Amino acid sequence: MLESYDPRAVEREAQDFWVGRRSFEVGEDAGKPKYYCLSMFPYPSGKLHMGHVRNYTIGDVLTRYYRMRGYNVLQPMGWDAFGLPAENAAMANKVPPAKWTYDNIAYMKAQLKSLGFALDWTRELATCRPEYYKWNQWLFTRLFKKGLAYKKTGVVNWDPVDQTVLANEQVIEGRGWRTGAVVEKREIPMYFFRITHYAEDLLATLDKLPGWPEQVKLMQKNWIGKSEGVRIGFECGKEILWVFTTRADTLMGATFCAVAAEHPLAVQAAQKNPELKKFVEECRKGAVMEAELAQVEKKGMPTGLHVTHPLSGEKLPIWVANYVLMGYGEGALMAVPAHDERDLEFAHKYNLPVKQVVQHPPGDPTAHGTLINSGKYDGLGYPQAVDAIAADLAKKGLGEKQVQWRLRDWGISRQRYWGTPIPIVHCAACGDVPVPDEQLPVLLPEDVVPDGTGNPLNKRASYVDTKCPSCGKPAKRETDTMDTFVDSSWYFARFACPGQDKSMVDERARYWMPVDQYIGGIEHAILHLLYSRFFTRAMRDEGLLPGMAEPFTNLLTQGMVLAESYYRDVGSRREWINPADVSIEKDSKGKIISAKTRDGRDVVYDGIGTMSKSKNNGVDPQALIDQYGADTARFYTMFASPPTNTLEWSDESVDGSYRFLRKVWDFAYKFSRASCAASADRKIRYQIHLELKKANDDIERQKFNTVASACMKILNALEELPEWDETSREGLSILLRLLSPIAPHVTHHLWRELKFGEDVMRAPWPDPDPAALEQDEIELVVQVNGKLRGSIRVPKAADRAAIEGLAMANPNVQKFVAGQNVKKVVVVPGRLVNLVV
RNA sequence: GCGAAGGUGGCGGAAUUGGCAGACGCACCAGACUUAGGAUCUGACGCCGCAAGGCAUGAGGGUUCGAGUCCCUCCCUUCGCACCA
């Protein structure tokens, strides 16, 4: 065997071996338990980033581990290939999005292969291929016929200069990213998926997902946002203003009503009131983003209209307020300033009355309590008050209990080219007609270069002009495409069915689904995961996935990979400098005091955040692979932190990972030339098996950083052996197997070189030997008043009295208890003794 | 603003159940080997202190024989907020 570690040669050799044996291609096998391990597929942005390396290494470690544990493991890979960046690249480089995307896929596929992931490439898919998106279209037509897909108007960001719809990320501080024009809200017709049909089930089933992080389940629960309340009608002349509230108990404290600027009452009132019209129009300026809306200063204007309080008969003014959202509830609310912080802020600003009606604990006006100043309802608690008030309202026909959801239906229309065409034909006579199955897929032309002014499909007569599938007369094709979240909502099921062109999925999906382990970034905790859960239900009800509701049994949400970012302002333009090109100076506390580029110009430190193209702070993993090899890149990303933590990038510590793999090689090299004694070393063997026991626990709880450090500890222990013996051989074979899921290439090579077997991946996973873990004596820590004062060795079977005696006899312990009364002795078996004086 | 998570040496992190805080590694420091060292090996390495010892897990308070871990208040960072993926 070679004396020194050459990652390049070792990795090529191992990868050739796997390809030659088709090691990762799997089929259905009734003889083994199946394990479907899936990492979120990448958007083909150009090259892999650190988040990908981390994500796919986590999946690969699990895949290789479960294979060695005897499971039939599927780990596929594909491309989330539709999306906005391809159109942006097209505008910048005058290249069709299709070509740009396919080129990126080719490059990134080579990168993934160089990292040695155990992927079944025979199942590769790209969502921009007709054979994939055909089934988006097919399912859309099914849902459309059932009413689960439907058309209504939705609000979008409109750039008045480019005459185009903007994505939220294309709106910067309320202005269009290319034109700088103030963005307006515009209502346009769109298609929606009726995800709210499944709201109750999506919420209730969260409790049956023990393999999901509590954090994610809680976020989804809050997002779905079931609230039980009362719908209350306020008479306004001949009309009724309906509001929804979860605090009907505070109805007697309502001092005004507020409606959204888009509310029909506001629009109507604005027609006769130029000042109000101006205000309503002002509310239409700016982006649709909720985060932005929530932070704008609360503003309002009276409509001049009044409503009648349904119980007191009092006249209350109606205001238009920019903090009322048209999309939630009725787009209107009753304001109770005394018991709602936002209403209070608004009331103070505009001098509106505040009337306390609930006796609340001091300092918490929004807490439930007993009613006061509420006439006949005085003295009631929250539930009784709500019941009584709802009943009285019901008698007048002005209220009823209602369940309200925060979850909205999913708008899937995008006024963009690079996505799945929505399979609808608009016919003057027949209306919106879904494209029949035999005419699917509606093909997206691939030779288009968008220019940023609207959807280029609109300008293609050959695409738009068609015949109505229903009556055969000339008609227009829908030019909107689907949200790319549609593509990623079912790809996991499609991976089970390569080559299937007769149906969306087939019976093979019943073998592989659900995904046993899904791995991806925490940033997908809500939308992607919720949409996938919705799709699985919709497909189930279409007969495609019988009996299945939940697509992902276990979910691992990896933390984001963060890096520092730096910029400098050049005129009005902000230039972002890659951290690799910045040298920094830190003070003794580690705070950055100055940052300069290589040529000595000052740059501004902008803090730490997600690696992103816009801040140019990405670290290219390719440089890491080129310099150290794939095994080091994999080992480092596992060792650096547990998968669920954020990972703050530092290239300084990569060296240590490389050094460790080299040490493994050096040890194996020396072993290959040594002759071993037949004896074993009890003490070192104990250490190795103890580390193995902990490492096996850590793999099960997905803490791969401590598995990596267990490998280091085992090697450190082996190096302490006074001579080559059976413990060296056993320890090395354990080390190579334990390390193989993380660093598969070097362990593959050494396993064969040392004649442990032909293929480490097919070796059984090591389990600790109980005999090696047996000990006659154990060490106990002795504390006095909770402070460490010494330690004692006691026989394993020692009783309490013997332990107390030994603890008291310890000289250092004596120093602290001498002459004092020992009031209490706490003995924690196997751990410690605490003497309280 | 709302929802969620996190904060431990100079740095990444460990401590699985309330029981030895800082495993393992990086950086730094000292030494050995060497023509050389950005290689390798040995040692030291939280802070204060000559030592005994004391202090220390974002800040402040509480529960407990014992708190990084549980409870309360506050501060900071990251993620999501429905057209980025």
Cβ–Cβ < 8 Å for A225, A408: no
Residue with tokens 């996935």: A545
Q: Could you tell me the pLDDT band of residue A471, with boundaries at 50, 70 and 90?
A: very high
What is the pLDDT averaged over residues A240-268? 93
Identify the bridge partners of residue A561 per DSSP, sorted by sequence position. Answer: A647
Nearest residue to A352 via CA among A344, A360, A340: A344
Helix-strand-coil split of chain A, %, nearest 5: 40, 25, 35
The pTM assigned to this predicted structure is 0.94
Q: Distance between CA A739 and CA A737 in Å, rounded? A: 5
CA dihedral A341, A347, A350, A355 (to 10 degrees): -160
Q: Is the CB of A627 under 7 A from strand B?
A: no
Residue nearest to nucleotide B77 (CA to C1'): A608
Nearest residue to A733 via CA among A706, A710, A751: A751
Question: Residue A641 has which token pair?
Answer: 């932190």
What pLDDT score does A589 carry?
Answer: 41
At A606-617, the pLDDT tens digits run 767 777 777 777
For A667 and B11, how far is CA from C1' in angstroms? 29
Nucleic acid strand B: bases within 7 A of protein CB? 1-5, 10-16, 19-21, 23-27, 39-42, 53-54, 65-67, 77-85
Nearest residue to A803 via CA among A812, A814, A816, A791: A791
Q: Is the CB of A788 under 7 A from strand B?
A: yes
Percent of chain A with pLDDT over 90: 75
Q: Phi and psi of A383, rounded to 5°?
A: -65, -40
Question: Residue A16 has which token pair?
Answer: 């050739």
Which nucleotide shows the minimum CA-to-C1' distance to residue A221?
A: B3
Is the pLDDT at A573 greater than 80? The verdict is: no
Q: Which residues of A521-549 are buried (b: 16+ CB within 10 A; e: fewer)?
A: bbebbebbbbbbbbbbbbbebeebbeebe
Q: 3-state class of A801 per DSSP?
A: helix
DSSP letter for A436, please: P
Q: Could you tell me the pLDDT band of residue A588, with boundaries at 50, 70 and 90?
A: very low
Angle of helix A274-284 relative to helix A264-271, nearest 10 degrees?
140
Q: Could you tell me the pLDDT band of residue A584, with boundaries at 50, 70 and 90?
A: low
Mean per-residue pLDDT over chain A, rounded:
92
Q: Could you give the C-alpha distances from A733 to A287, A412, A604, A792, in angstroms and in order?
A: 60, 54, 51, 35
DSSP letter for A46, please: S
Q: Phi and psi of A515, rounded to 5°?
A: -65, 125
Q: Is the CB of A283 under 7 A from strand B?
A: no
Is the pLDDT at A647 greater than 90? The verdict is: no
For A666 and B40, how far is CA from C1' in angstroms? 12
What pLDDT score does A251 carry?
Answer: 95
- Edge-to-edge strand list for the sheet holding A184-193: A164-166, A149-159, A184-193, A410-411
Q: Is the CB of A623 under 7 A from strand B?
A: no
More confident residue, A389 or A262: A389
What pLDDT score does A587 carry?
Answer: 45
Chain A, 467-496: which CBs lie within 7 Å of strand B? 483-485, 488
For A659 and B30, how far is CA from C1' in angstroms? 22
CA pseudo-torsion sign A692, A693, A694, A698:
positive
Question: Residue A638 has which token pair?
Answer: 């596992």
Q: Distance between CA A775 and CA A313 in Å, rounded? A: 83
More confident residue, A495 or A560: A495
Is the pLDDT at A362 greater than 80? The verdict is: no
Reported in sequence order, the residue ranges of A524-572 that DSSP labels E, i.e. its strands, are: 552-558, 561-570
What pLDDT score does A612 carry?
Answer: 73
Which nucleotide shows the minimum CA-to-C1' distance to residue A823?
A: B65
In this structure, the strands spanning A552-558 and A515-521 are: parallel
What lies within 8 Å, CB to CB, of A363 at 6+ separation is: none
For A689 and B37, how far is CA from C1' in angstroms? 38
Predicted-complex ipTM score? 0.95
At A167-199, the pLDDT tens digits run 998 998 889 988 999 999 999 999 999 999 999
What pLDDT score does A590 carry?
Answer: 43
Reported in sequence order, the residue ranges of A634-711 that DSSP labels E, i.e. its strands, are: 647-648
